[in-house]
Amino acid sequence: MRLSNLAPALLILSTMSGAAVAQDAYPSKPIRFIVPFAPGGGADISARVIAMKMGAAMGQTVVVENRPGAGGVIGTDMVAKAPADGYTILLGTIGPIAINPSLYKKLSYNVDRDFTPISLVGNALNVLVVSPTLPVKTVPELIAYARTHPVAFGSSGNGATDHLAGEMFNALTGLSMLHVAYKGGVPAMTDLMANQVQLVFSTVSTAAGAIKAGKVTPIAMTGSTRFKGMPDIPTIKEAGVPAFEVNNWYGVLVPRDTPAPIVARLNTELVAALKTPEVTAKLLESGIEPAWTTSNEFGSYIKTETSKWARVVADSRATVQ
């Protein structure tokens, strides 16, 4: 090699070596774990229990930061614009990641362009609960009743997962149940107990107290599998609507172009945390069923879910400005 070419070559080798050292030393400072929703909900609970376990394993603090607003858009956009160095990670959910791209006419981030998936975290299970005054105990009985009687279902808001679950149920059964949007799952549950609406596709965590008190009746789970905490409750798919499946999932993502070794390390540590008995027990206690994937598997799942919800949003004509 000529001396004139030696300096650039050494510079390239030095840069590559420095990058490798930096990645090998990862993490060398605290990691910010952004939750795009308020404290206390399923996403926040998941992030905090995982952050503690991952931080201990990685030798650095994983700090959960709640950045709520605009249906998860604010916090999600914040991570999309963060440095791709592994020190800002996102607890992404079905809404901001798979539903919002169809729901919002303009969105400040693009999931394909701006993020690299790490892994699924789990499914925040939803349960179809009905008013005890409704003379139904099963999904077929509900369908038969709703064909001849006016029925309204409540949700935590226009375009939320529980709203679109109801719209999917309408589409697959040929029903025309009326949607009533509330400012959260708790107000919807309150009105269900007062029989102002007749059913809600509620999260387990929101419905648990009312179920235990006998103030609402659970008739089916919305996801692909039964919930271990309610093993006698069938899925809607099992109960006679085979195409129905709503998994209200959570997962971890990082900004696009995060180095591959860091993506691999985060996946390894996240999956290891999810497999521990302590994390599993805490999530199940909150109605969240742990789940994990490779980065590529999660990426494929996001694409499938985005396509599915685009059809539901289009059929329901739901929009958010």
pLDDT in tens, 283-293: 988 888 899 99
How much is the average pLDDT of 219-226?
92
Alpha-carbon span 284 to 156, nearest angstrom: 22
- In this predicted structure, the answer to whether residue 200 has a pLDDT above a threshold of 80 is yes
Instruction: Please compute the mean of the pLDDT values over residues 232-240 and round it to a whole number.
Output: 96
pLDDT at 3 over 50: no
Position 20 scores a pLDDT of 46
Residue 12 has pLDDT above 80, yes or no: no
Q: Are 223 and 236 in contact (CB under 8 A)?
A: no
In tens, the pLDDT along 260-272 reads 999 999 999 999 9
pLDDT in tens, 66-75: 998 887 899 9
- 30: its two tokens: 């605290």
Instruction: Tell me the average pLDDT of the chain.
Output: 90
Q: How confident is the model at residue 5 (pLDDT cuts 50, 70, 90)?
A: low
Closest CA to 204 of 187, 190, 191, 222: 222
Block residue for tokens 């309610």:
230
Check pLDDT > 50 for residue 13. Answer: no
Tokens 């375009």 correspond to: 159
Mean per-residue pLDDT, 93-116: 93
Beta bridge partners of 147: none
85-97 average pLDDT score: 96
More confident call, 203 vs 32: 32
Mean pLDDT of 206-215: 92
pLDDT of residue 22: 46
pLDDT of 11 higher than 90: no
Q: Which pLDDT does position 227 carry in this prediction?
A: 87
In this prediction, residue 208 carries a pLDDT of 87
Residue 8: per-residue pLDDT? 53
116-164 tens-digit pLDDT: 999 999 988 899 999 999 999 999 999 999 999 999 999 988 888 899 9
3-state secondary structure the chain: CCHHHHHHHHHHHHHHHHHHHHHHCCCCCCEEEEECCCCCCHHHHHHHHHHHHHHHHHCCCEEEEECCCHHHHHHHHHHHCCCCCCCEEEEEEHHHHHHHHHHECCCCCCHHHHEEEEEEEEEECEEEEECCCCCCCCHHHHHHHHHHCCCEEEECCCCCHHHHHHHHHHHHHCCCCEEEECCCHHHHHHHHHCCCCCEEEEEHHHHHHHHHCCCCEEEEECCCCCCCCCCCCCECCCCCCCCCCCCCEEEEEEECCCCHHHHHHHHHHHHHHHCCHHHHHHHHHCCEEECCCCHHHHHHHHHHHHHHHHHHHHHHCCCEC
How far apart CA 86 and CA 12 sit, in angstroms, is 23
